[in-house]
Amino acid sequence: MRRACRAGGGGLARTPSPEGVAPTRRRPFLTAQRCSLVRTRRCFRAAVGASAERLEVHDNPTLRKERGAFFTPARISSFLVEWAVRGSADRVLEPSCGEASFLLPAATRLRSLGASCAQQLHGVDMHAASVAKARKLVEGAGFPVNVRCSDFFDVEPDPTFDVVVGNPPYIRYQQFAGDDRAKSLRAALAAGVRLTRLASSWAAFTVHASRFLKPGGRLGLVLPAELLTVNYAAPVRRFLLKNFAKVRLVMFEELVFPGVLEEVVLLMAEGFGSAQHFEVFQATDLDDLRTIKGKDWSGFTPEGGGKWTGALLPGDAFSVYRSVVESPSFSTLLDWGETPGDRGGDEGAARRADGEGRGGVRPRVGAGPPPPLLRRLG
């Protein structure tokens, strides 16, 4: 007697029958129903699995950008860690640790210095998936680590760290609003730094991070190059020079973050005291970080809380620039009038709502006539 056809084969299924009794035939649709039920169960399990997968929080470039997270190239994090970690007993904090871009090289550096790393590696991040991954990566490499899931501005300063290194989140003021902005402003104010509402997230983060250092500790951060050039960063610039004995900046001629157009500087601040000037090293790209030791750094002495834009120029070029702009032939436009774009953000909008600056230049009360060149251009 033939064996029954496999379910779903579409043929007839024969069953053994007693001798002399005609064999019975199963109706094909019964077998098909069984196959359909099996397929339905499998599809249901697959659908449930897919739904569960979709419920998980996945990270992607858009979500990272929204929270200001840009993962740091390994050569940058290794460079800052090599500079910042000096002894086997150093305690290291990476605020906004992401996926342990600085914690991993810090662990390697400490181990090379003979440390056990017990209670020496600490991180903070508000993104739970990144916290889990950071912990897994560091512990998977054989190092104990303490990573906390929290908004860094909610963490009370604990000045027990020899090293604070990291890449602060970069969120422009237009998106940095509400409770997040309020917390950041309070954190900066607690350190004596009053920031405006135009400040991006990194400004308060830099100030807050420095409060976790022991006296004489080292702060190594990746910051946007606007540290040197924007008005809202003036309180941060003053804070750095007032609270550290030595401030150094590494700048790059080329973009060094893949897929990111923002220019960055590497902040290297150390010691306890008040620096009268800061030093700058102009690198072409990341390859120059390997040969930076022994190279000459250019010193720059800023005027009060003014911009550090002059540091972007070679020393001789800056001397020429300063002599020209300080000559009687040039005058600052704002000394005798304001254009509609002189004040941005909410303040500028309020001025425009009041009817100011509808076109041309609005002269200041008591301002003298514009310089000859500006009169000709007018």
Tell me the mean pLDDT in the region 320-345.
62
Distances (CA, A) of 177 to 117, 174, 197, 199, 263: 38, 7, 9, 10, 23
Average pLDDT, the chain: 76
Q: Which of 97, 106, 98 is nearest to 79 (CA)?
A: 106
- Kindly tell me if the per-residue pLDDT of 289 is higher than 70: yes
**Between 262 and 111, the higher pLDDT residue:** 111
Reported confidence tier of residue 307, pLDDT bands at 50, 70, 90:
confident
- Kindly tell me if the per-residue pLDDT of 249 is higher than 60: yes
pLDDT in tens, 183-234: 999 999 999 999 998 899 999 999 999 999 999 999 999 999 999 999 999 9
Q: Which of 107, 108, 115 is nearest to 87 (CA)?
A: 115
pLDDT in tens, 99-129: 999 999 999 999 999 998 999 999 999 999 9
- Percent of the chain predicted with pLDDT > 70: 63
